Amino acid sequence: GAVVSQHPSWVICKSGTSVKIECRSLDFQATTMFWYRQFPKQSLMLMATSNEGSKATYEQGVEKDKFLINHASLTLSTLTVTSAHPEDSSFYICSASRDRSPRVQYFGPGTRLLVL
Amino acid sequence: AQSVAQPEDQVNVAEGNPLTVKCTYSVSGNPYLFWYVQYPNRGLQFLLKYITGDNLVKGSYGFEAEFNKSQTSFHLKKPSALVSDSALYFCAVRPYNTDKLIFGTGTRLQVFP
């Protein structure tokens, strides 16, 4: 149990285009979903926290208009990188939390984005 | 500032030997503590957690971790390492008043045959 999927697993796009990444909890309802970014050989940096039906809470320094997050249902959250630029190239990982407490986060397999 | 430290970038151990991956934290209050493992080009897999109670926590794949409040440490251990344990290990802390996880920088474990 507690499986989280992401789609696509990797994407290459041209600079200036927008890319949408989906995160799904397959066998549980996720009260909260999280989006992280991981640079090579570095740790995970939290970008935003989203709760179903409400606006996402972004971490300091993360551009809301550039990284659009939609949490449409208890099993689906999407991250859209708008007007992508090469510096947005990274590994994006989502996680989902189902428990009331202590709310273990279960992670998706990640999406590697390369912006040319 | 709240932080998690994994002092070793890499840990090398021979197969069959015990392994320890270190983690210390600086968080106010009584946090929840987690270990995750990441294989190449994959997301993180949950290994174990400490919430309260017994300081020795047992998790997946034979791993365990010992919580030491006085030393603010949560070291990951395994009595006998396998080559398949080779991966990147992350320690994470969740302060008691938030859902957010604070991650360490990760430790690469290399188990040699």
Q: Give the model's pLDDT for residue A36.
A: 95
CB contact under 8 A, A107 and B43: yes
Q: Give the model's pLDDT for residue B53.
A: 87
Mean residue pLDDT across chain A: 91
Contacts of A100 in chain B (CB under 8 A): none
Q: Does residue A12 have a pLDDT over 80?
A: yes
Q: Which of A103, A105, A110 is facing B42, going by the closest CB pair?
A: A110
| Residue indicated by tokens 């294989």 | B39
CB contact, 8 Å: A97 with chain B? yes
Q: Does residue A6 have a pLDDT over 70?
A: yes
CB contact, 8 Å: B42 with chain A? yes
CB contact under 8 A, A46 and B46: no
Q: Give the minimum alpha-carbon distance from A50 to chain B in angstroms, rounded to a whole number.
A: 11
Instruction: State percent of chain B over pLDDT 90.
Output: 78
User: Is cis: bond before A8, omega within 30 of 0?
Assistant: yes
Separation of first and last alpha carbons in chain B: 41
Residue-wise pLDDT tens digits, A32-84: 899 999 987 778 899 999 988 788 999 999 999 999 999 888 899 999 999 99
**Which of B42, B44, B103, B108 is the mutation pick for testing A, counting most A CBs within 10 A?**
B44
Return the C-alpha torsion angle A27, A28, A34, A37, nearest 10.
-10
Q: Does residue B64 have a pLDDT over 80?
A: yes
Contacts of B42 in chain A (CB under 8 A): 109-110
User: Is cis: bond before A102, omega within 30 of 0?
Assistant: yes
C-beta separation of A102 from A12 below 8 A: no
Q: Give the model's pLDDT for residue A100.
A: 61
Kindly indicate the confidence band of residue A99, based on its pLDDT and cuts at 50, 70 and 90: low
Q: Give the model's pLDDT for residue A42.
A: 78
> If we measure between CA atoms, which residue out of A110, A101, A40 comes closest to residue A79?
A110
Kindly indicate the confidence band of residue A102, based on its pLDDT and cuts at 50, 70 and 90: low
Instruction: State percent of chain A over pLDDT 90.
Output: 69
Cross-strand partners of B49: B34
